[in-house]
Structure 1
Amino acid sequence: MSDYRQIVRKWVKPEDLNQHGALFGGRLLQWVDEDAAILAVVQLGTTSVVTRYMSEINFKGSAERGDLLELDFRVSSFGRTSLTLSCRVDNAVTGQEILTLDRIVFVAVDDAGEAVPHGETEATPGTERLRQ
């Protein structure tokens, strides 16, 4: 089990809002998936990764225009072909929990979309694996 974490911050802008003036849940999930994928690419050292699985998505709060959100990603484990992350999203100013995802699984794939071993077992804080 790794203890590596990465925090990404997002500002909720007018174009991110639904008809009720709150952040679209789909926009937040887009941010989570995109930033999780970037983390997976850095950790696995390849841009050939796909989102394979997301656990239950638990919306616990909402966000409004101008809110600053923190997406707190943690590396949970490395598999032979996969990387498992978790994510918690909080309002950076109020501390209110917005969303939790216990498991987001990415898989390294070849050109045909088949899972391939990635060879990594520990998290890295840098991007050096992309240059190897």
Structure 2
Amino acid sequence: MKFLSRRLVMPADLNSRGTLFGGRLLAWVDEEASVYAAIESGADLVATKFISEMDFQAPAYLGDVIELGMEIIDTTRVSITLKCSVRELRSKRNIVRIERMVFIAIDKNGRPIRHAAGPGLSQSDSA
């Protein structure tokens, strides 16, 4: 798992219980995963096709620094599938896991296209 970026939990990111709002976290994850999928696949554009359930394991609080980690688990001619883990930087406390996120390489008209990574690429192949 490659932990690629960090976010500071700010007051505007909190829900009514004072913890990180799940929708905000999902937006951060989707943005990070789409950038990672585009870079790793060599595609200019990717679209989110599927995100499995978010398994919330612990809350994140104001002032926490969270890390977003991605790992390639599969590729096809037009897609790249990732696994995601989010943890708190200092304590390494797991915040959320997502087992499958599928991104499709697309052209400027939104049609699926072949990407450079090709079928069968795994995390060890891309390192």
Q: TM-score, normalised by structure 1?
A: 0.84
1:27-66 matched pairs, under 5 angstroms: 27-66=24-63
The answer to whether structure 1 residue 5 and structure 2 residue 2 are counterparts is yes
Give the fraction of aligned pairs with identical amino acids, expressed as a percent.
Answer: 37
1:95 Cα offset (Å):
2.1
Instruction: Could you tell me which runs of 5 or more consecutive residues in structure 2 were left unpaired when the two chains were aligned.
Output: none
The answer to whether structure 1 residue 115 and structure 2 residue 112 are counterparts is yes
Match of 2:21 in 1: 24
Residue identity opposite 2:10 in structure 1: K
1:81 Cα offset (Å):
0.2
Separation (CA, whole Å) in 1 of partners of 2:2 and 2:60: 23
Please give the root-mean-square deviation of Cα atoms over the aligned residues, in Å. Answer: 1.6
Alignment: residue pair count = 122
Tell me the SS of whatever aligns to 1:85.
strand
Residues 13-72 of structure 1: CA deviation (Å, up to 9, x unaligned): 111111221110000000000000110111122332100000111111111110011111
Kindly indicate whether the alpha-carbon contact (under 8 Å) linking 1:54 and 1:101 is maintained by their aligned counterparts in 2. yes
The answer to whether structure 1 residue 97 and structure 2 residue 94 are counterparts is yes
1:124 Cα offset (Å):
4.2
